Structures are given as structure tokens and as C-alpha cells.
Amino acid sequence: MVHAAATLPRIVARFDRPVPDAVVEWRFDELERAGLDALDALGLALDPAFDIAALRSLVARGCEPALAVSIVR
């Protein structure tokens, strides 16, 4: 039996704005796929200076996502 407390709701970010925000949505999705939680992913997705490729590279080599964020910043 699974307790309700063990099942947390998933945060879903929806972006209903013009095309430039499609980039923010893509960045958000990439950051979530890299292992960041939704709130951290959203904050970094909104920062155009944050290098997602560098983060993905570090995570792919075994770096924990939170540490990778600290390194890339």
C-alpha cells in the first residue's frame, strides 16, 4: 500500500506566451531532464546566461545535478 504522503504532485510549468518563450520552455524541459527539480529548472531556464550544454555534459559524466549547477554558475 502506498501512502498519500509518499506520492507528491508533479509540478508542471506551462508557458502560454509568444514564440521567444518557447526557448524558455525548452530550457526548462532540458534542465528537468538533467535532474533538476522544477523550481530550480524554472529559475535557470529564465537565465539566458546559464549554459545548459555545460550542465548536461557534467551530469552525463556522473556529476550530481546540484553540484553541476554550482560549477556552471
Res 22 pLDDT > 50 = yes
Max Cα-Cα span within the chain: 45
Q: Which residues are CB-contacts of 56 (< 8 A; sequence separation ≥ 6)?
A: 30, 34
Look at residues 70, 49, 31 and name the one whose alpha carbon lies nearest to residue 11: 31
Q: What is the pLDDT of residue 19?
A: 47
Q: Which residues are CB-contacts of 22 (< 8 A; sequence separation ≥ 6)?
A: 15
Structure confidence at residue 68 as a pLDDT band (50, 70, 90): very high
Q: What is the pLDDT of residue 45?
A: 94
Q: Confirm whether pTM is higher than 0.85.
A: no
Structure confidence at residue 17 as a pLDDT band (50, 70, 90): low
Q: What's the pLDDT tens digit per position in 30-49? A: 999 999 999 999 999 999 89
